[in-house]
Amino acid sequence: MAEAVRTGARAPATDRFSLGRLLRAREAGVFFALLALCLFLTFATDSFLTSTNLLNVGRQISLLGIMAVGMTFVLIAGEVDLSVGSTYAFSGLATGMLIVAGWALLPAIGVGLLTGAIIGLANGVLSTYGRLPSLIATLGMLSIVRGAALILTNGQPVTVNERKGALPEVAEAFSYMGQGYLFDVVPMQLVFFVIIAALAWVVLSYTNFGFRVFAVGGSAKAARVSGISVYTIKIWAFVLMGVLAAFAGILSLAFLPSGQAGRTGLGLELDVIAATIVGGASLSGGEGTILGTILGVLIIGVMRNGLVLMGVSPFVQELMIGLVIIIAVGIDKWSTRKTA
């Protein structure tokens, strides 16, 4: 079993779902931390435990969650992507500009997702065949893509509505993606997040690609000896990250139909990485689950919501998020050293 873990292989289903393993899993600790946070906010505020606020929290975490799902694949593969905020801005604004130019909805969204895939492909190629550390490669892409977004929009806001040239039916459908409600209750952003998280869970847990992502992150040398194309797996992880960041950016513009390249998505990569690490993904690679990522996203979202309800300053909120990142990385490194 220890050898399987080191090489990224997954435990048999009977072991994975045993009560003892679930209680020992890091996700259990994250879940209890989330439960304690919710209990505290329930007594500390009057409006936290209401259906309206809980659905609002679900909507607020959806875009972060979609990107955190993609970051889970990247971190498990042993890499990191700092360009997600810029991809989020560029793809969303590009899609908005095409809709304003009179394009139909699906082609415009398709182009936006394609731009995200291309950015992810560039990150993957630079980090593998280019032999650049992914931290440096994606940091460079962060500036490149942000600059490209500024050039594309000439630094001007992009607003999607009929007055700007969007077709009425396209503007309505686009708005529904970000502002609509399923059955007039569940925000559409939350619906998209749940669907993407469920698909990602299946891919990561029950497909050859998911197994290979764990294998590559656990031991690239062992994976290569086993016949796995390490570079190909890492590139696909980056491409998936790019597509999901692009989709989140598109949903963001659909919710608030106006964005500016110099502001949209700034610093978003920190929240994405923080949520994924809090959920149990390791910076060393080879560890992480979609369930853990969802719990990590919930902790970040619930904490932000609770601080707002308690009237805490936005500056203090940023400080708290920073502390969460430091504590999460510290736990990750301590637990990794203990296991070794």
Domains of the chain: 2-339 (1.10.3470)
Asked whether residue 336 carries a pLDDT value surpassing 70, the answer given is no
- In the chain, pLDDT over 90 holds for what percent of residues? 60
Q: How confident is the model at residue 241 (pLDDT cuts 50, 70, 90)?
A: very high
| Structure confidence at residue 211 (pLDDT) | 95
Asked whether residue 128 carries a pLDDT value surpassing 90, the answer given is yes
Q: Which residue has the higher pLDDT, 113 or 51?
A: 113
DSSP state of 256: S
Q: How confident is the model at residue 88 (pLDDT cuts 50, 70, 90)?
A: very high
- Write the Ramachandran bin of 158: left for phi over 0, alpha for psi from -120 to 50, otherwise beta: beta
Cβ atoms 239, 73 nearer than 8 A = no
Of 211, 228, 150, nearest in space to 4 by CA: 211
| Rounded Cα gap, residues 140 and 119, in angstroms | 12
Q: How confident is the model at residue 8 (pLDDT cuts 50, 70, 90)?
A: very low
108: tokens are 């415009």
pLDDT, tens digit, 9 for 90 and up, residues 156-201? 999 998 888 889 999 999 999 999 999 888 999 999 999 999 999 9
pLDDT, tens digit, 9 for 90 and up, residues 9-25? 443 443 344 444 544 46
pLDDT, tens digit, 9 for 90 and up, residues 228-237? 999 999 999 9
| Rounded Cα gap, residues 186 and 55, in angstroms | 7
Asked whether residue 1 carries a pLDDT value surpassing 50, the answer given is no
